[in-house]
Structure 1
Amino acid sequence: MGRCKYNYPKTFTAETTTNSDGYPEYRRRDDGQAAVVRKQTLDNRWVIPYNPFLLSLFDCHLNVEVCSTIQAVKYLYKYVYKGHDRISFNVIKGADPKPVDEIEQYQSGRWVSPCEAMWRLYGFELFETQPPVMVLPVHLQNMQTMRLHPDENLEAVVANEKRARTPLTEFFVENSKEGTEPLLYADFTKKYRWDKGQKRWFKRKTKLLVIGRVVFASPSEGERYFLRILLLHVRGPKSFKDLLTINGYTCATFQEAALKRHLIEEDNTVDLCLNEACEVQMPSALRHLFAIVLIFSQPKDPAELWTKYYCHLSEDFNRKFPNDPNKVSRLTASSVEISLEAMGKSLKAFNLEHLMESEDDEIRRTKDIVDALDAPIPQECADCRTMLNFERIKAFDTIISHVKENKPGAFFIDGPGGTGKTFLYNALYAEVRLMNKIVLPTATSGIAAANIPSGRTTHSRFKILLILMDL
């Protein structure tokens, strides 16, 4: 008898084991029993794993098999959270001899059952959280997020005191009132409710349990992280200054306040890390490690740390410029600054901006300029120049003439999809880069930017803010 696609019959085995895929190989005794089904003799090797109780309970065919690998957990979560069923379709004529135009005829749609459609049309909630959870913001003084509409007057918004209110600022206001029970920020929602319209806290008249969750802040966020620690442990603070004041002494930073309240420990982990790295790491790697330590470990005194390890951080520059200590200092600081910029920070965030006060032309080159000048020129882009047709050459020569003559200009290349606009852009990129000039390829979408070497979106390149619209 041949084997089926599910690898039956199985083999006889004296005990249950687990194979390399995490599936069990169930015990199958060779007890000599067999049954004739459709003129075929079947024994224990043909029995599918089952549970008699479940078969009786559900009165249906039901296979039961244990699966114990991480793939099973991933499958279940992906299946539960995969979203609604979707289909992709296109509409064409029954006897259309033309080739399918994907751009014109493709359409993506979503299939929704009638029950779900009515539920959504009536605006019923699709899920609920019980008990309710309110996210409590954490922000530094006068650093709260405010939403503005494009047609609003900025001066009027700034003058409106109500627009600046947040649950945190009003938490301080309520604690300043007489008779207010000193509560932790996270516990405030148990006794008070937040009115979004009036932007105020009001005492609850009913015992409704609402959990307050203080928004997460990572150590790389610096003072905001230490402010969150204080709010989680200090009861009834009346202001930001009140959080900084301990036994009549006003701390300079929230980090210092957290240290004096013994909410964090001042240890020598950073010192040990850098000390060990000095023995085995090259100076360039050590400078990158120093930047990582500044961001993720938040040392209490970065300036002291810089002074202590400066000779190791600048060792290679000292050998290159032994008689110019000022240039060595600037190059070392610039190298650390480049590593910090790659992670979204700068020396100024750690009160080390004085290290970059005086710079020469070489040091003043920002990371974007360095990346633009060091960006490779793909050979396929360089080859595009020789494969331009007449219309592309005309546009190519017009634009390049402006570049060579240092004349400003703005050009708009128009044409249907597939006519070679990106091909022309790549040829222009290669030609300008071969002149050792800077090219900053920018597009409105990530898909378009990916088609040009070193391409980036406009929002990423020029740090354009995203406008949030309330629908």
Structure 2
Amino acid sequence: MTFNDNEGISEDDKENYSAIREAYSWGSICNIRNLFAAMLLSRSLSQPEKVWEKTWHMLSGDILERQRNLLHNKELKLTDDELKHHALIDIERILQINKVSNLQNFYGMPIPGAILSTHRENNLLNEFGYDKRELTYEHTFLISSMTMEQMSVYDEIMESVAMDRGGVFFIYGHAGTGKTFILKALCAALRSRGDIVLPVASSGIAAAYLSGGKTAHEVFGIPLDISENSTCKNIKHGCHLANHLCKTKLIIWDEAPMIHKFCIEALDRSLRDVMQASKKPFGGKLVVFAGDFRQLLPLYTKGGRDKIVGSVINSSYLWSECKVLHLTRNMRLDLGSFDIKDQELLEFDEWIKKVG
């Protein structure tokens, strides 16, 4: 790779520019970014933006390969703006470690935040870095391992996908019945044929069990100070996320009972808006929730039992649109001796069936 000479760089900065070029010839790219950050911190660059424009190719030399490895996509392409963004982010991290807040403290330097939104969404919504052959094998294995009960739930959801009719499902079952197992099978099935699935969860731990999973707050931009009229700040007409959602075949939301119903309603309100289908739940998108009402419910500051129960998804106006799919067989127990004897749990299941 060749680079332009030092034309356009001030006399004061030519020595620093030469130092970066020399370091590029023998040092690691990471060290070169450290060197550039050190020049910023020492205020030795009179026009840092000019030096940046001449050296950003060198400062971002390892970005593409790093992103390909990170996203498991050897065919990934990045634009110049994307390469610049990642390099600037790395430089800004170095500044933060040295107690300098960000690049805004250096006049003329580009700010990664100017293109952060698009990159952040691309990173969050990466649906094109999956190995379809590997996913096909995974899907075959998951399907072959399903019980008849799990297969019934899986088939009903996949039928809705095939018919492209949208709908809202809730996979209900206590721990060990295979809720996440089915969600993984759904992801593998659709991704193996090139369709887009957007898996989120109410917590980071739950999201980690889903391939490509993120928290719902992170992806949708759900406000922390939630109210009954809130919308998702990341979903706006014409934005990358909105366009991505238009192409999405399935939205998965795991551990739904542990989040306030207003968060789910915010997504519903935003999707109805961008999909221009105000009368259809989630704008006509197929959404699958999963969870167990006997586990952790939403936290409610200074709230009593009535407020906590009233904040759960089955108290939402959306619940009447939701079809509950039940899982009862605990796969973690010895299948030969499986028997639920806890009368309280059985009564709770009966109540859920009536509500559903």
> Do both share a fold (TM > 0.5)?
no
Query: Which TM class, normalised by the smaller chain length?
Result: 0.3 to 0.5
Higher helix share: 2
In the superposition, the TM-score normalised over structure 2's length comes to 0.38
Higher radius of gyration, 1 or 2: 1
